[in-house]
Amino acid sequence: MELYRTINNVSCRLVNWGNPFSSDGCDVILCITGNPGIIDFYYEFCSALHQSTELPLCLIGQAGHEIIPNETHIELKGNEHLFDLQGQIEHKLYLINHFIDKRSKLHLVGHSIGAWLILECIQKHPSIKDRIVSINLLFPTIQQMAVTKNGRYVNNVLRKLKSLIIAFLVVLNMLPSSILHFFASIYLKLNDLPFQYAERVLKYINPNIIRKVLFLAFCEMDQVTKLNTQAISKIENLVNIIYGENDGWVPLNYIEEWKLLLPTVNMTKVPIAHEFVLKSSEKVAEMVSNYIKTKSQVNLFST
pLDDT tens for each residue of the chain, 303 residues long:
899 999 999 999 999 999 999 988 899 999 999 999 889 999 999 999 999 999 999 999 999 999 888 777 789 999 999 999 999 999 999 999 999 999 999 999 999 999 999 999 999 998 899 999 999 999 999 999 999 999 999 999 999 999 999 999 999 999 999 999 999 999 999 999 998 899 898 988 999 999 999 999 999 999 999 999 889 988 999 999 999 999 999 999 999 999 999 899 999 999 999 999 999 999 999 999 999 999 988 766 565
User: What pLDDT does residue 34 have?
Assistant: 97
Distance (Å, rounded) from C-alpha 292 to C-alpha 249? 25
Q: How many CB atoms lie within 10 A of CB 114?
A: 28
pTM recorded for the entire structure:
0.95
Helices (H), 41-176: 43-53, 80-83, 85-98, 113-124, 149-153, 162-172
Classified by CATH at the fold level, domain 2-144+225-302 comes out as: Rossmann fold (3.40.50)
Q: Are 143 and 112 in contact (CB under 8 A)?
A: no
Strand pairing class (266-270; 132-138): unpaired
Cross-strand bridge partners of residue 6 = 11
Q: How many CB atoms lie within 10 A of CB 14?
A: 20
At 43, the amino acid letter reads Y
CA nearest neighbour of 223 among 155, 291, 302, 303? 155
Cross-strand bridge partners of residue 3 = 14
CA nearest neighbour of 136 among 114, 153, 162? 114
